[in-house]
Amino acid sequence: MQLDSNFKQRDKKYSKKKDLTKLLSAATCTLLASTAATANTESSSAEKSVVLGHKWSTQAAVLSYSEDGRISVNQGLLKLKGKSDKSIVTLKMGYDVVSGPSENGAAPSPTAQTFTSPSGAEDYQVNAEELPWYEIIRHPRKDISIDKSTILNKAYTFNIGARYSTEATYDSRSINFGIVRNANKKNTQFSLSASYEDAAVTPYGGVVTPRSTVLNRGQFSSEEEFMAAWRAQRANGASTTGLVGGITSEDNTTENKTVWGLIAGATQVVNKDTLVQFNYSYGESSGYQNDAQKMVSIIDTDGLVTSNIYEARPDHRVKQSVYGKIKYSTSKSTVLDVNYRYYWDDWGISSHTLAAGYQIEISKRFKIEPQFRIYKQSDADFFRHSVFEENSNPDDLPMYLSADYRLAATTNYTLGVNFDYHLKNKHVVSVRLATYTINPEEDSQYKRGYLNTVNVLPSINSTVVALSYEF
């Protein structure tokens, strides 16, 4: 299986995302990209509809992500691709739904704990010794994107795209553009791209004041007194009228967030069997970075929770990464793909990602690709399991703090396999199966007493099942 000197078999690099729905979108797109790559040699002769001067193909995918005892996500994605001699147009539409319990960051207790729902509408209990959580009843997200790649001449290709995503608590609009320079008889490519995103964040119940105390109805003599204090904690006194479960309030306050980034890369065909790639990326995000549902526990000398406060994160973040990949055709029917990524940011997080895949052409119609990925991350400078009671006075609290396990040191593993099958009508069916394990690491300096007897950051095991059909 020789590598195409025009890079037709290049796949998109996987980039780690902290937000789960983005992670799943990336997983689905990886499946679609895999299908497209394996279909290049056979689907080109299939009958395609010609509309607006382009020959169009369609891919549909569904994906299910499920964590043991935690959240699950179901996603559907439709991709339309139109090709002409000079350009490629790609339209994607996605819809996913998140549901299930999600950790709120508070510490467990030997007795049952009572929490108020993110909206403030109702209370719920967490069992003794159980990690505190909040229930996501049903959280849907919709997104649509369009991209166009235009060949300007033999040397240059110009890319431009736009994307819109909306959900109950987050609306995002983004644009991207880039230029590709071909050289050395198209065996060498240099690329430069930029992106910009503008987002509006509208948490359930309003934007809470960072580091303020999490309120409990039991502390107040009446519902009116509680709701007055609840609104006072939130920007502009957000209303909570009619809030039940996943329904948003009438006038939730909104914060803004902007993200921009640059990626510079080079790709080289070394010979008919070997391709190498290198990328450098730089990005900045400004604005609201907090997760309004996350909190940090105040614990006494016995390690027991006395109260909780809302997390606080910096309102600016700089991210950088370098990425390298090599694809090598080990025989006429096998291709080895190995890539490495190093990431660092000004929140103190750095990470290493090593991934490998081995594509095997069982027959002209059937291919299989086992995959393995390991991800190791350091913790953010402001990550902590808890705050000791003697350090909980407002003047003693750190400016930033969070108990979100996604900001903890961790070592994660992914083991999966892709199956691609070409039907006689030139359609392609792809299936991806994977297991994903998150192993966050505890930091003993933020534990004492009772907390030393429990695991506040247990491993999270999940499964991914995805199905794609190209026609």
Closest CA to 43 of 332, 432, 433, 421: 421
Those residues of the chain that have pLDDT short of 70 are 1-49, 51-52, 235-252
Sheet bearing 386-388, strands edge to edge: 305-310, 295-299, 386-388
Per-residue tokens: 60: 């549909």
Residue labelled with tokens 């009116």: 224
pLDDT of residue 76: 95
Closest CA to 442 of 403, 415, 469: 403
pLDDT of residue 250: 42
pLDDT of residue 45: 37
pLDDT of residue 51: 67
Average pLDDT, the chain: 85
Q: How far apart are CA 154 and CA 185, in angstroms?
A: 9
* Gyration radius of the chain over CA positions: 24
Q: How far apart are CA 291 and CA 402, in angstroms?
A: 9
How many Cβ atoms sit within 10 Å of the Cβ of residue 139?
A: 20
Q: Which residues contact 102 (CB under 8 A, 6 or more apart)?
A: 70, 71, 133, 134, 135, 136, 293
Q: How far apart are CA 439 and CA 182, in angstroms?
A: 42
- Burial class of residue 203, CB neighbours in 10 A (0-12, 13-18, 19+): buried
pLDDT of residue 302: 93
Q: Express each pLDDT in 248-279 by its tens digit.
A: 334 447 889 999 999 999 999 999 999 999 99
